[in-house]
A and B are shown apart, each in its own frame.
Chain A
Amino acid sequence: MSPHDGFLRVEQVHKWFGDLHVLRGITVDVRPGEVIVLIGPSGSGKSTLLRTMNMLEEPTLGKVYFEGEDLTDVRVDLNMVRTRMGMVFQHFNLFPHKTALANVTLALETVLGLKGPDANERALQQLGDVGLQDKAGSYPSQLSGGQQQRVAIARALAMQPKLMLFDEVTSALDPELIKEVLDVMAKLASEGMTMVVVTHEMGFAREVGSRMLFMDEGLVIEEGDPREMFAEPQHPRTQEFFSQIL
């Protein structure tokens, strides 16, 4: 298969931070409709790998292809590419000086060029989908962590992306707020969204994930069907990791 035919392909990617070799040659293919779950111990490079997918981190070596384009090619307009990939962060990163609605409309207006009323309509609809239509006028500081994270998801989804990247989006939440966020993500998966999810929520990984990658020390050392991997992890590091967290 030529790389250009794929949906998202990370090919032989290496990343150094100074002398620290954080990604050590990773190749991952993501097919449309897949929900890839990325797990691994802290510091194994999960976030870095996820962030190379939308080029928030530039790979030191290797290629990233998305819908036939080589994102490491300097001639590619990354801003336009990123409108087709949403990202949700551990700490929400909502814009604190803007209301929930304005958080969602900002990029619709400034990047996609939607007019005010159109942007508002789309944003309200999206906030409604995550159950927050009545919070449109609230500032982030007035919302619970779970609500903030749902606004962040709505903000990314409003761009109508083809791929969503989630980086430990429930790790900063109080336990009783985790479910409302996971529910939104599960619904999104059931609607066919392609997702790459870094998470420590093993229940979610098992129920929603279509493929699971286990990373350790900058390498993907095992991948497979989540249920099978949970039942019979092959690699000793995977076994050790599961025995520690399960």
Chain B
Amino acid sequence: MTGTAATVDPLATDQTKPHRTLSDWYQDQTTLSLTAGVLGATSLSLLVIGTPILITTFGWVPSEKLAEAITSPAQGLLLWISLGLGLTGAALGWGTFRRMPNKAARETAVGGAVLGAQAVVLDVLFLWVRTGQVDVLVRQYFEFGLLADQGPRFVRAALNTLILSLAGETIGIVLGLVLAVFVLSRRRLVRAPARLYINFFRGTPLIWQLSFGWLGIVLALGLGVGPYLAAMLILGLNAGAYSAEIFRAGIESIDRGQFEAARSLGMSYGKALRHVILPQGVRRVIPPLTNEFVILIKDTSLVFILGLTFTQKELLSTARDLYAATFNATPWLAAAAGYLVITLPMIRLVRMLEERLRSGMTGIVGAQ
């Protein structure tokens, strides 16, 4: 039997990818979907945009004004309206999205339900807060006037946080690489001490390492190392243990065949590691290493126990000092904001690197 030619529908091959415009989207909507969407969106915007506007009319500083704004009848009205709209939007969207005639209308209904639900949760929380001693809370934590002339001090503190963590990470990477190679050695005599080191630094709290390293070693022995340098070193010793595990996993994740191919060509262990294994391992190791860096940034907060001098202080010590001077907790808030300014971009970077690694995977494992 001979085969027959498959018939091809000429129209099917002519199709171009549909391009949807805003008016296409609008035509797809139903009254119900639009109502749910608008209700949900309005309820949430009323809360997250309306509240700051209202507070601004009263004033953010001093805290009495802020407290007045939050407890004002106007804010109460705003919250109840937002709650009502949110509940309606959520109920309407949730109740009807299954019956929507098309995908666009369904997404709008679901969107309205989700936004409405978010508004409801936040409104209820806010209303509950208003039943407490708002003036006390605000006076303690939101006295923004206290921060007015502290800008330069916090910028320097943020820089110190960054310097300490960067120095720690740099030491950690170099140390971690060496430790990883040792831990992967065939020889127990090489492996064991590296393993001991890693387990010790991973198994004891960083705050213990900092206090013992500083008080117990540097000060008691009289080594003449300043607290700033000591902090960098101890953070680096600690980061080294964590980086070592990351490098070890990275190296082990490379197919054994890569190593064998390199050795079969006469390359030594070191050459194979340097030219074949590490270049492939490094790419896999960058996301977890960046992640570890984010943790280190936050861990620099523990160096407050080293007694840094005024200009050496990082974010948390600075907040502590200001707290001690004013008996007001608002500086803690500023410290948190400082950490976020540094860590959020790093967290984003990790995500981007992970994405890139995933999409570029063929270039890395393509040898199969």
Interfacial residues, chain A to chain B (CB-CB below 8 A): 54, 56, 79-83, 85-87, 89, 91-97, 106-107, 110-112, 139-142, 148, 152, 155-156, 159
Contact = CB atoms under 8 A, between A and B. Distances in A.
B151 interface: no
Contacts of A141: 362-363, 366-367
Given A85-B264, A155-B265, 14 more contacts: A54-B264, A56-B264, A79-B267, A80-B266, A82-B263, A89-B257, A93-B261, A95-B262, A95-B276, A96-B363, A97-B364, A106-B267, A141-B366, A141-B367
B1 interface: no
B364 A96 contact: yes
**Shortest Cβ-Cβ A-B pairs, 9 listed:** A141-B366, A93-B261, A107-B265, A83-B266, A93-B257, A87-B264, A82-B266, A111-B266, A96-B367
A161 B257 CA distance: 20
B266 A91 contact: no
Nearest to B360: A141
A117 B49 CA distance: 66
B258 A111 contact: no
B204 to A, nearest CB: 36
B366 A56 contact: no
A111 B260 contact: no
Contacts of B367: 91-96, 140-141, 148
Contact of A140 (B255, B257, B267, B366): B366
Interface in B243-291: 255, 257-258, 260-268, 271, 275-276, 279-280, 283
B271 A110 contact: yes
B12 interface: no
B69 to A, nearest CB: 59
Contacts of A54: 264
A54 to B, nearest CB: 6
* Residue with the highest number of chain B CB atoms closer than 10 Å, among A80, A93, A111, A139: A93
B148 interface: no
A91 B362 CA distance: 16
Interface residues of B, number: 25
Contact of A89 (B261, B275, B365): B261
B359 interface: no
Nearest to B257: A93
B265 A97 contact: no
Contacts of B364: 96-97
A91 B271 CA distance: 22
Nearest to A141: B366
* Residue with the highest number of chain B CB atoms closer than 10 Å, among A82, A89, A107, A111: A107
B368 interface: yes
Contacts of A142: 366
A54 B260 CA distance: 11
B366 A110 contact: no
A79 B276 CA distance: 16
Given A79-B268, A106-B275, A110-B271, A139 B366 contact: yes
Contacts of B260: 56, 89, 93
Contact of A95 (B258, B263, B271, B368): B258
A87 B280 CA distance: 22
Given A96-B363, A97-B364, A141-B366, A56 B265 contact: no
Nearest to A111: B266
A92 B231 CA distance: 48
A155 B365 CA distance: 19
A96 B366 CA distance: 6
Contacts of A140: 366-367
Contacts of A86: 264-265
A192 B268 CA distance: 29
A169 to B, nearest CB: 13
21 contacts: A56-B263, A79-B267, A82-B263, A83-B266, A85-B264, A86-B264, A89-B257, A91-B368, A95-B261, A96-B366, A96-B367, A110-B271, A112-B266, A139-B366, A141-B362, A142-B366, A152-B261, A155-B265, A156-B264, A156-B265, A159-B265
B253 to A, nearest CB: 13
A82 B264 CA distance: 6
A97 B283 CA distance: 10
B266 A96 contact: no
Contacts of A156: 264-265
Contacts of B255: 91, 93
A86 B264 CA distance: 7
A206 to B, nearest CB: 28
B186 to A, nearest CB: 11
Contacts of A83: 265-266
Nearest to B269: A79
A107 B267 contact: yes
A170 to B, nearest CB: 15
B265 A82 contact: yes
Interface string B68-107: 0000000000000000000000000000000000000000
Nearest to B254: A96
Contact of B266 (A89, A152, A159): A159
A81 B367 CA distance: 26
A235 B12 CA distance: 63
A97 B279 contact: yes
A147 to B, nearest CB: 12
Contacts of A97: 279-280, 283, 363-364
A156 B266 CA distance: 10
Contacts of B275: 106, 110
B365 to A, nearest CB: 7
A111 B366 CA distance: 25
